[in-house]
Structure formats: structure tokens, C-alpha cells
């Protein structure tokens, strides 16, 4: 089963995003047109710093509604989504930030990191390379280089895993996929391939765990549900198979 992470732990996992968010270098930019929007941004920032995520999110929603061209409103809302573990909701907001302000390297770096976790390697590498070309801060440059190196390594492992899988060397393929999934934690394709490796190796417990994760990571993932049902059926658990 997919582990349930307490809200407090989720917040700690995204401390880097929160540090970027409250960086006063961006205080007030592009928000001067509407004092109501500026007020929502300021209140939301204080609530976020206090860990009141739901309340902060409501203020950032209001800021976006009040000024759809305010890139900082989208950026701060994305930060809350990340702190809440809602990466799918954060991605569109980060993309909107980059659309409105292409030189905002912090947003591009965060989007690249999320894309990497989703297994979208080409898109992630594009973001990291653009960060490196944009005269980033030393911290951002170091992180972009590290993430780009990691992405290149994952690309190599994906090719090896696919090659081993095609040759029916399932144990070797599963070992490569273990490393891939440590980084690409929300990559549905890798989860489903590893589940098939486990099925072929007779490790149904691990296969079921990966299939459950895959069914939750992708909306309406009927393929994963069908394979999960078939696996339960073959184990003689007809009740779970029907469910």
C-alpha cells in the first residue's frame, strides 16, 4: 500500500519551497495594482509560515482570481500545493508562473524537479538546462546541475530496465526499476513495469503494492485496476478481485 504521510511530515519535506516562498527579494512585485490582491498574498504568506495550509490556500486562490496576471500569486499557491503533497495541482501553477515570467528560475527549477519525480525526463532536463543558461544564483546552479546529472542517470537506467524486461530478465529489470522509482516516485510506467516483473517472479505481494500505487497515481487507470483484479483472482481472493 502507498504510505500515508502525516501533514506535518509533508510540510517538512517541502521546506526548500517554503524558504523560496518567503524570500523577501520578491516582496510586492507585480502585485501593486490591487491592494486586495496584495493583502491576500501577505495574509496567505503568514498563514503558510504558520503551517495553516488550507487557510493560506484560500487566500492565494483569491489572489489568483483577483489578478490572473500576477505570477507571484500562482507561485505561492503552487508552494502551498507542494506543502500539501498535491504535486499535480502545483504543476499547472508553476507552468503559469514561467509563462508570465520566463526568467523566474526558482519556479522553473521546482517544475523540473516535479517533472523528474513524475518520470517526465525530457521535460525535466529541458527545465534544468534553461536554468543553467539563465545566470542563476549559485544555489540554483548547483541544484540544477545535480538534478540534470540525476536525470541523465535515470535515462540510462530506464533503457537498461526496458532492455532487461524485453529479454525476460525480470530480476535485473526490477533492480534497475527500484533505483528509478527512488527518484521518480510518481512515475506510473515504472511502477507498472516493476509490478509485471514481480508477477513474473512470483512475488505477488510486491506486485499488488505497485499496482495499487499506479492506480492512484493516474486517474481512471483501468489497466492497473484490471491487472490488480486478475492478480487477486489468481491468488484465490475473489472478493478483492471483484472489488
Q: Please spell the DSSP secondary structure of 198-223, one letter per residue.
A: HHHHT-HHHHHHHHHHHHHHSTT-HH
Per the structure, the count of domains in the chain is 3
To the nearest 10 degrees (0 to 180), the angle between helices 121-132 and 105-117 is: 160
pLDDT value for 66: 92
Whether residues 95 and 1 fall in one domain? yes
Query: Which residue do the cell numbers 524486461 mark?
Result: 165
> In this predicted model, what pLDDT tens digit does every residue of 192-237 receive, in sequence order?
999 999 999 999 989 988 888 888 877 777 776 767 777 776 777 7
Residues 76 and 41 sit within 8 Å (Cβ to Cβ)? yes
Last residue of a domain, one of 55, 82, 101: 101
Whether residues 86 and 39 share a domain: the answer is yes
How far, in Å, CA of 136 to CA of 30, rounded?
Answer: 21
Domain contains 178: no
Cell numbers linked to 177: 526499476
Dist CA 238 CA 230 (whole Å): 9
User: Is the Cβ–Cβ distance between 151 and 141 less than 8 Å?
Assistant: no
Residues 134 and 118 in one domain: yes
Which residues lie closer than 8 Å to 132 by C-beta, 6 or more apart?
141, 144, 145, 148
pLDDT digits (tens, 9 = 90+) for 77-95: 999 999 998 988 999 999 9
Question: Does residue 175 lie in a domain region?
Answer: no
Rounded CA separation 60/52 (Å):
13
CATH number of the domain that residue 119 is part of:
1.25.40
Domain CATH for 95:
1.25.40.10
Q: Are 231 and 211 in contact (CB under 8 A)?
A: yes
Q: Domain check: are 106 and 92 in the same one?
A: no
Residue 23's pLDDT is 45
Looking at the structure, do residues 75 and 6 belong to the same domain, yes or no? yes
Sign of the torsion formed by the C-alpha atoms of 35, 41, 42 and 44:
positive
Both 113 and 87 in a single domain? no
What one-character DSSP code corresponds to residue 67?
-
Tell me the pLDDT tens digit for each residue of 4-56.
Answer: 444 444 444 444 444 444 443 444 444 344 578 899 999 999 999 999 999 99
Task: Find cell 533492480 and name the residue.
Answer: 175
Same domain, 216 and 228: yes
State how far the Cα of 223 lies from the Cα of 243, in Å rounded to an integer.
Answer: 15
Same domain, 200 and 148: no
106 and 56 in a common domain: no
How many Å apart are CA 104 and CA 63, to the nearest integer? 19
pLDDT in tens, 148-198: 999 999 999 999 999 999 999 999 999 999 999 999 999 999 999 999 999
Please give the residue range of the domain that contains residue 233. 187-242
Domain termination residue (choose one: 49, 66, 101) = 101
Residue 181 lies in a domain: no
Amino acid at each position: 500500500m502507498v504510505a500515508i504521510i502525516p501533514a506535518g511530515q509533508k510540510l517538512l519535506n517541502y521546506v526548500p519551497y517554503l524558504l523560496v516562498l518567503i524570500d523577501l527579494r520578491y516582496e510586492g512585485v507585480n502585485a501593486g495594482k490591487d491592494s486586495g490582491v496584495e493583502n491576500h498574498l501577505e495574509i496567505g504568506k503568514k498563514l503558510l509560515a504558520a503551517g495553516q495550509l488550507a487557510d493560506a490556500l484560500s487566500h492565494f486562490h483569491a489572489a489568483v482570481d483577483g489578478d490572473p496576471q500576477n505570477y507571484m500569486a500562482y507561485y505561492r499557491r503552487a508552494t502551498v500545493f507542494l506543502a500539501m503533497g498535491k504535486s499535480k495541482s502545483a504543476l499547472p501553477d508553476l507552468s503559469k508562473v514561467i509563462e508570465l515570467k520566463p526568467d523566474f528560475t526558482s519556479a522553473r527549477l521546482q517544475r523540473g524537479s516535479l517533472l523528474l519525480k513524475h518520470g517526465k525526463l525530457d521535460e525535466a532536463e529541458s527545465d534544468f538546462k534553461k536554468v543553467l543558461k539563465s545566470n542563476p544564483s549559485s544555489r540554483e546552479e548547483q541544484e540544477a546541475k545535480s538534478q540534470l546529472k540525476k536525470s541523465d542517470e535515470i535515462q540510462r537506467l530506464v533503457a537498461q530496465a526496458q532492455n532487461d524486461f524485453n529479454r525476460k530478465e525480470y530480476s535485473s529489470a526490477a533492480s534497475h526499476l527500484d533505483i528509478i522509482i527512488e527518484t521518480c516516485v510518481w512515475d506510473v510506467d515504472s511502477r507498472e513495469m516493476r509490478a509485471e516483473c514481480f508477477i513474473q517472479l512470483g512475488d505477488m505481494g510486491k506486485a499488488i503494492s505497485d499496482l495499487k500505487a499506479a492506480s492512484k497515481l493516474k486517474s481512471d487507470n483501468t489497466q492497473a485496476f484490471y491487472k490488480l483484479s486478475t492478480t487477486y483472482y489468481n491468488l484465490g481472493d475473489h472478493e478483492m478481485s471483484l472489488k
